[in-house]
Amino acid sequence: MLVITTMNITRDKIIQSALKLFSKKGFLGTTTKEIAKEAKIAEVTLFRYFNSKENLFIEVLRSQSFLPTLKDILPKIKKMEYKRALQTVAKYFLALLKNKKDLICIMHAEMFKYPAEIREINIKMIHEVYLVFASYLEDLKEKNVLKKDIDTTYASTAFFGMLFNLFIKKEFLKRKINFKKAVQTYIDIFYDGTRRIK
């Protein structure tokens, strides 16, 4: 049991060290030697846990995904009124984006230079978030809360896309916007566009 715990601690330390460096220098600008030094381990130890820098980066992306948070809050939002549920998901999603702002910035600059495997896995992880939220929307559609002709996968993609776009405008383009009002306006538009009017 102690061996497993020590292995998990070392693995987590490597992931956190990699996250720190990838967020500062990017995937392309960071070496495994630098990650090992940051984690205070030998480089050979790093390769015992992750057989390549690409695999380590994929694990870092997984650790930063919104998917675990969304799955965690799903039971709570299912009990909420629809608009309040949208506000809750938006709050958690935007908080996560703000928390990993540096990593997102670097990834946007480098994305097209990444190996195809990394790009595909990143796209797949994002799509999984859309599908989980789409399943929530699908439940609401069956309960006659949403319009019957709504494609919930497209709707989910639109919801997160609007919020991500707003985040980019504020954090990277440094647009002067009333962020709180903008978020609420986007939620109102989505709510009014998807809700079934009785």
* Model confidence at 1: pLDDT above 50: no
User: Between 2-29 and 101-110, two packed helices, what is the crossing angle to 10 degrees?
Assistant: 50
**pLDDT confidence band for 6 (50 / 70 / 90):** low
**Helices and strands, number each (H, E), in the chain:** 10, 0
Mark whether 92 and 189 lie in a shared domain: yes
Q: What whole-number distance in Å separates Cα of residue 134 and Cα of residue 145? A: 14
> Mean pLDDT throughout 86-103?
94
Number of domains present in the structure of the chain: 2
Write out pLDDT tens, residues 9-56. 788 999 999 999 999 999 999 999 999 999 999 999 999 999 999 999
Mark whether 23 and 121 lie in a shared domain: no
Are 38 and 21 in contact by the 8 Å Cβ rule? The answer is: yes
Mark whether 49 and 91 lie in a shared domain: no
Write out pLDDT tens, residues 104-139. 888 888 888 888 888 899 899 999 999 999 999 999
Our CA angle for 190, 194, 198, nearest 5°, is 130
Q: What whole-number distance in Å separates Cα of residue 63 and Cα of residue 12? A: 10
Mark whether 40 and 111 lie in a shared domain: no
Give the per-residue pLDDT at 3. Answer: 47
Query: Which CATH number goes with the domain that contains 25?
Result: 1.10.10.60
Mark whether 175 and 135 lie in a shared domain: yes
Mark whether 175 and 123 lie in a shared domain: yes
Give the per-residue pLDDT at 5. Answer: 64
- The answer to pTM > 0.75 is yes
Query: Which CATH number goes with the domain that contains 120?
Result: 1.10.357
Q: Which domain holds residue 23?
A: 2-56
Our CA angle for 36, 37, 38, nearest 5°, is 90
Give the per-residue pLDDT at 125. Answer: 92
SS (H, E, C) 55-74: HHHHHHHHHCCCHHHHHHHH
